[in-house]
Amino acid sequence: MEYREAAELLLRQNDILILTHKRPDGDTIGCAVGLCLALRAQGRTAWLLPNEDATRLFTPYLEGCLAPEDFRPAFVVSVDIAGKGLFTPAGEQWLQKGIDLAIDHHPSQEYFAKETCLDAGRAACGELVYDIVRQWGPVSREVALPLYVAVSTDTGCFQYSNTSPDTHRVAAALMETGIDAQWVNKRHFRTKSLKRLKLEALIVDTMDLHDDGAIAIAAVSLDDMARLEADEADAEDIAAFVGQLEGVRTSVTIRELEGGSCKLSVRTDETLSATGVCALLGGGGHAAAAGCTITGSVEDAKAAILSAIRQVQGHA
Ligand SMILES: [Mn+2]
C-alpha cells in the first residue's frame, strides 16, 4: 500500500507494537522511535519491542519507548525489516502470530505481513516513515530527530549512492523542525572509538584484494573482536569502510558469528548488483548494498562470496 493508506491504517489502530530488525541499525531504530512518538502524539499507545542487539550508539534514542513485558498489542508493525530471517528472537513470535503492517524500502521484501507499505526508491526507510507521520500534522522535533538519524545513517551521511534529491528534501524538512543535526552527524560520522580505529587498521592489514584491487574482501573474526576488546558499537557500519580504498568497486566485509556462521555485507558500484550477488547465497538488500549469512568459517565465506561475485559477473 501507498504511504497515505499506511498513515490512515495506522491511525485507525491502538495498542501498537513496533518491531526492529536483528542487529539493528540507525534506520530501523530511528524509524521505530519516530513512528512510536508520532503515534503517541496522536493519542495512541505505542511501544517498541525491546531489541537485545541494540548497541550504545542507538540505545539513547530508545529511552521511554521500550514495551513493558505485560504489553498486549492489538496491531504489530515492522520497520525496515526485509525478510523473515531478519526478525529478532523476541520478534519471531509475532511473525507466527501475524504482522499487521510492514513498512520497508528493500527491494528484497518478502511480504510476510498482512499489509506492506514498500517504496524501494527510498534511500532510507526513515524517508517513508516521515511521509507517513506528516499525514497526521506537523512533525515535531522529538519525532524528527530519530527520523533524521534513520536517514543520515542509512545514507552514510548523505554520501552513499542511494542518496537522492528526495533524501535531502526530507532531511531539510526534518532540520527545519529545529533538531541538532550537526550533533547527530558528529556523533555517528565524525567520532570513532580507539577500538574502532584498531579494527579498521586490522582490516587494512588483512584484507584480500582481487582483480587488481577492484574487489576487496575483509574479514573480522570473533578472535579479532575479542583481542581488540571491541563490541558491536565499535563495528557499526564497518561494511562501509573497505569501499573507501581507492580503486575498489566491490567490497565485502565478513563478520564471523557465534555458532559457526558468518554474516557478509557486500557494497558495489553500478557495475555489479550487490543484491544479485547476495541472493545467490540466500540473502538480499539493495542494488549497491546487500547482505547474507552463510554457515561455515571465514575462509568458507570468502570462497563462497568470490564465487557468487564471479557468477554474477558472468565469469563462472
Ligand atoms: Mn534501511
| pLDDT tens track for 82-140 | 999 999 999 999 999 999 999 999 999 999 999 999 999 999 999 999 999 999 999 99
Mean pLDDT of 182-204: 97
CA of 27 to the centre of ligand 1 (A): 5
pLDDT given for residue 315 in this prediction: 58
Class of domain 194-313: alpha beta
pLDDT given for residue 47 in this prediction: 98
Mean pLDDT of 57-61: 96
Q: Is residue 242 scored above 60 in pLDDT?
A: yes
| pLDDT tens track for 275-298 | 999 999 999 999 999 999 999 999
Q: Is residue 237 scored above 80 in pLDDT?
A: yes
| CA–CA distance, 85 with 95 (Å, rounded to integer) | 10
CA of 93 to the centre of ligand 1 (A): 22
Mean pLDDT of 25-42: 98
| CA–CA distance, 284 with 79 (Å, rounded to integer) | 16
CA of 118 to the centre of ligand 1 (A): 12
CA of 42 to the centre of ligand 1 (A): 25
CA of 75 to the centre of ligand 1 (A): 22
CA of 304 to the centre of ligand 1 (A): 25
Percentage of the chain surpassing pLDDT 90? 99
Q: Is residue 204 scored above 60 in pLDDT?
A: yes
CA of 162 to the centre of ligand 1 (A): 11
pLDDT given for residue 227 in this prediction: 98
End-to-end CA distance of the chain: give it in Å, rounded.
39
Q: Where along the chain do the CATH 3.10.310.30 domains lie? A: 194-313
Average pLDDT over the chain reads 97
CA of 212 to the centre of ligand 1 (A): 31
CA of 158 to the centre of ligand 1 (A): 13
| Low-confidence winner among 44-48, 94-98, 228-232, 311-315 (lowest mean pLDDT) | 311-315
CA of 227 to the centre of ligand 1 (A): 30
CA of 68 to the centre of ligand 1 (A): 26
Q: Is residue 202 scored above 80 in pLDDT?
A: yes
CA of 80 to the centre of ligand 1 (A): 5
Mean pLDDT of 35-56: 97
CA of 259 to the centre of ligand 1 (A): 26
CA of 104 to the centre of ligand 1 (A): 8
pLDDT given for residue 151 in this prediction: 98
Q: Is residue 316 scored above 90 in pLDDT?
A: no
Q: Where along the chain do the CATH 3.90.1640.10 domains lie? A: 3-189
Mean pLDDT of 73-88: 97
CA of 107 to the centre of ligand 1 (A): 11
Class of domain 3-189: alpha beta
Ion ligand 1: residues, Cβ under 5 Å: 27, 80, 125, 154
CA of 55 to the centre of ligand 1 (A): 17
CA of 67 to the centre of ligand 1 (A): 22
In terms of Cα–Cα distance, which of 54, 68, 63 is closest to 26? 54
Mean pLDDT of 40-54: 97
pLDDT given for residue 22 in this prediction: 95
